[in-house]
Amino acid sequence: MQKLRFALFGTGFWSRYQLAGWMETGGVECVALYNRSRHKAEALAKEFGIPAVYDDPQTLLESERLDFVDICTAVETHAELTRMGADHGLPVVCQKPLATTLAEAKDMVAYCRARNVPLFVNENWRWQVPIRQFKHMLDAGRIGKPFRARIDMISGFPVFKNQPFLAELEQFILTDLGSHTLDVARSLFGEANRLYCQTYRAHSDIKGEDVATIILNMGADITVLVQMAYAENYLERDAFPQTFIMVEGTHGSLELGLDYWIRETTEAGTFAKRYPPPRYEWANPFYDVVHSSIVPCQADILNGLLGKGAETTGEDNLKTVQLVFGSYESAKHAAVLNMA
């Protein structure tokens, strides 16, 4: 099969892992890079052997023969670059968070739909090996009907040190991390009916919130508590960036705990097994479980690009975006929102 040719827009912190993930996935070839700071694009192009570099996205689109574009830039540029790609008839792969507002996200999805251009979102969290296995075991139904769950991504990791731009975001943890954890909630339990959220800022030197607590009523009457924090405090059970999940069902419980152990407890007893992520040489050890999940996520997107269907389409991710901005609305007014 001939490889699909693509251009990567953005050469910041995540771009090298995105590129490495595509190379690991196979079936694609990056032929051009765009970054407004040309020297950054040139450095990444040299590292990965990419032949063309641009500091103007329109010039890139007019000069290169492409099969799709991959947008890995700051969120405030996503809408414009998505429209530019769609105007050239190119499928668009976009990094999360999809947009700066719910209205903007809706416009992006509608814009691509109107031009019959596929839009996919690089939402990789649900593709983590332990979370994927957890979903498989939950769907097997051995713990009966789920009625209560908890999803925790709470860490004292100094995330602002290697991504200082996060400290400047007016809306931080719900857009950055909530986009992931709320998407996991949807992938496990279906769509939300009601939502309530509270936020907090533990760091005095950042602009946005770094702690959030969300209660969701989901699917067939399941209560889901989603907790996230980057308070940079001291926690006994801190394993950045692992996600912990606990589900109670009518016939047992299922838990994803520390170090990728999954425990299923029913009347037959407790059965435990560890499901660690694969290790790649190009992955940062601190982000191992996250970086490795880029590969199956992009493999699924590649299926979508080939017309075989994909999970994280723009249409699907729009439902996660609704939960993110619904959380801000709930926290602002201290109100329970009806989402159905």
For residues 243 and 282, state if they share a domain: yes
Q: 133 and 218: one domain?
A: yes
Does a structural domain hold residue 32? Answer: yes
Query: What mean pLDDT, rounded, does the chain reach?
Result: 96
Among residues 63, 83, 117, which one ends one of the domains? 117
State the total domains in the chain: 2
Last residue of a domain, one of 67, 86, 117: 117
Residue 297 lies in a domain: no
- pLDDT at res. 54: 98
Please list, in sequence order, all residues whose beta carbon lies within 8 angstroms of the beta carbon of residue 140, skipping any fewer than 6 positions away.
none
Question: Does 1 have pLDDT greater than 90?
Answer: no
325 and 194 within one domain? yes
Task: Assign residue 19 the CATH number of its domain.
Answer: 3.40.50.720
Same domain, yes or no: 110 and 55: yes
Residue 153 maps to a domain: yes
Same domain, 24 and 63: yes
Q: Which of 272, 227, 60, 250 is nearest to 146 (CA)?
A: 250
214: pLDDT strictly greater than 90? yes
**Confidence tier at 279 by pLDDT (50, 70, 90):** very high
CATH number at residue 162: 3.30.360.10
Is pLDDT larger for residue 234 or for residue 60?
60
Domain boundaries, position 12: 4-117
Confidence band for 281, pLDDT divided at 50, 70 and 90: very high
Encode pLDDT of 175-212 as tens digits. Answer: 999 999 999 999 999 999 999 999 999 999 999 999 99
Residues 224-249: pLDDT tens digits?
Answer: 999 999 999 988 888 899 999 999 99
Does residue 159 share a domain with residue 80? no
Q: Fill in the amino acid letter for 192.
A: A
Residue 340 has what pLDDT? Answer: 80
Outline where DSSP puts E strands in the chain. 4-9, 28-34, 52-54, 68-71, 92-95, 119-122, 146-154, 192-200, 211-218, 222-229, 244-249, 252-256, 261-266, 269-274, 337-338
What pLDDT shows up at residue 43? 97
Q: Is the pTM of this model over 0.85?
A: yes
